[in-house]
Chains A and B, each alone.
Chain A
Amino acid sequence: MKKLFHIIILISLISPVKANTLYELIKIPNLEIYDLNTPNKLRYVYAKQPFTIGLDNNINCYNSSNTDLKKKYEIIRNELDKYDQKFLRKINLKYIVLCEDLSISGINTAGIPDNVMKTLIVDIKFNNKYFKRVLHHEVFHIINDSYKEIFNENEWSLLNDKNFSYAECSTCTDKLGLDTYLNTNGFISEYSQSTASEDMAEVYSHIISKIIPKKIDPILTNKINFIKEKLALIDQDFKI
């Protein structure tokens, strides 16, 4: 056993240094290029092997089968092709990382946005019912993180009923439902009621996915207008 250990150490020491451009650029290991030929210059990459990143290695994601990747890639491309290169550059999104069973601190999540590294990690195995819309939800977090001053949470919170207050964080509440309300009460889904940021992301994703209930209350109407007005400040040409 000891000999085997020494052999492994020896092999690792004599292995030549290998260049890994993707790691160099976005600091996520074990990735390979999936597709670079996109009209909006989004770079799709996938996990060749599981990877662990983040503070205390708290973000984990696993590699997927080629079949799953191919199937989900078409859906993701179709949704994200709605954004043009100019808009994506403004919001700092360039790399889409495809993997499965994505979790942060043990909690499963649909996506992890990082506007600094211009990266969105997507769990391709996330619930199919909400998958398309959730992609835009995560894109909004990139937008929000890049333009915190425009999407001001205090300004947003004032749109709500005076007696309402959000939870401390998105995982500090059991309001996690993603179904679109048929009868809105200032919110478009249960998850909207978790935090101001998640509320904005939910409204945004419904606007982009064109899933707006026929009857909406005045508070939600104001929220929809808020999102549209603020997006116009970032890019007037962005078509909603």
Chain B
Amino acid sequence: MIEQIKPSRSEKVIFIFIILLALFSITSFFLIKDKCLFVKNHDPNKLKFENSQNIAILNVECGNVIIELYPETSPIAVERFKTLIRTKAYDNVAFHRVIKDKLVQAGDLEFGKKDNLDYGKIGTGKSGLGTIKSEIDNPFDYKKGSVGFSRTSKFNTEDSQFFIILDDEPLYEGEYTPLGKVLYGLDALKKIKYLDKSIYVLRPDFINTFRMLIN
């Protein structure tokens, strides 16, 4: 008959510790894998807006980003932006330029589309609608969540690319045409993929959809 050996107290402690460690590792794996776990998804249908005709909903991997557009500040630019949103031009377009905690940039309709991504040219593409005049004369406070139209190093070259800032940028006033501000969902933008060593993102995240609340 085999004599049963009882585990000592220290062996029990080690066993429990190993079990806890395994549980912690498995939980952590799933928590870390889901980057959107703690990001609140805002449902625009459950929210009330004063200017619902100027509300746009940018849907990204971690949820909805609800943006109010300011046609009074930049009428030409907002009109262009609305046109592109209404024609679903921004769907499946990459966030090709992302700086951690500073900004996300998307909207290259020529070289930034998911099915036609061109890493060599991304950021230089055109919409086909031509460039528009910079609208920088009206005061605009570039606070965190502000949305602006991107341009080349020259003014009056705005086309389709836009950026959203994740931190205050007072120097942008008078430099970039403002489009609006994020009302809800800035946290979802903070989860957009970025690289540590480059502002241009390899295998970037994409816009799922971009729609006006009222079409």
A: residues with CB less than 8 A from B are 13-14, 16-17, 19, 21-22, 25, 33, 36, 41, 43, 89, 94
Contacts and interface: CB of A to CB of B under 8 A. Distances in A.
11 contacts: A14-B196, A16-B100, A16-B196, A16-B197, A17-B195, A17-B196, A17-B198, A19-B103, A36-B170, A36-B171, A43-B171
A41 B174 CA distance: 9
Place the interface of chain B in its size category.
Answer: 10 to 19
Most chain B Cβ neighbours within 10 Å, of A21, A22, A33, A89 = A21
Nearest to A22: B171
Nearest to A95: B171
Nearest to B142: A21
Contacts of B170: 33, 36
B133 to A, nearest CB: 15
A168 B101 CA distance: 51
Contacts of B169: 21
Interface of B: 99-100, 102-103, 137, 169-175, 195-199
Contact of B102 (A19, A25, A33): A19
B174 A17 contact: no
B172 A13 contact: no
A21 B173 CA distance: 12
A19 B99 contact: yes
A94 B198 CA distance: 29
Nearest to A27: B153
Given A17-B99, A19-B99, A25 B171 contact: yes
Contacts of B171: 21-22, 25, 33, 36, 43
A19 B172 CA distance: 13
Contacts of A25: 171, 175
Given A19-B99, A19-B102, A21-B169, A13 B174 contact: no
Contacts of A16: 100, 196-197
A89 B173 CA distance: 13
Contacts of A22: 171
Contact of A17 (B137, B173, B197): B197
A95 to B, nearest CB: 9
A16 B199 CA distance: 10
Contacts of A36: 170-171
B174 A94 contact: yes
Contact of A13 (B100, B102, B137, B197): B197
Contacts of B102: 19
A16 to B, nearest CB: 4
Nearest to A21: B171
Minimum-distance CB pairs A-B, first 10 = A19-B102, A16-B196, A19-B99, A21-B171, A36-B170, A17-B197, A17-B199, A21-B169, A25-B171, A25-B175
Contacts of A89: 137
Contacts of B103: 19
A19 B198 CA distance: 10
A25 B171 CA distance: 9
Most chain B Cβ neighbours within 10 Å, of A17, A25, A89 = A17
Contact of A21 (B100, B137, B172): B172
Contacts of B199: 17, 19
A16 B196 CA distance: 5
Contacts of A21: 169, 171-172
B173 to A, nearest CB: 8
A19 B170 CA distance: 14
Contacts of B197: 13, 16-17
Contacts of A43: 171
Nearest to A13: B197
Contacts of B174: 41, 94
A90 to B, nearest CB: 12
A36 B141 CA distance: 12
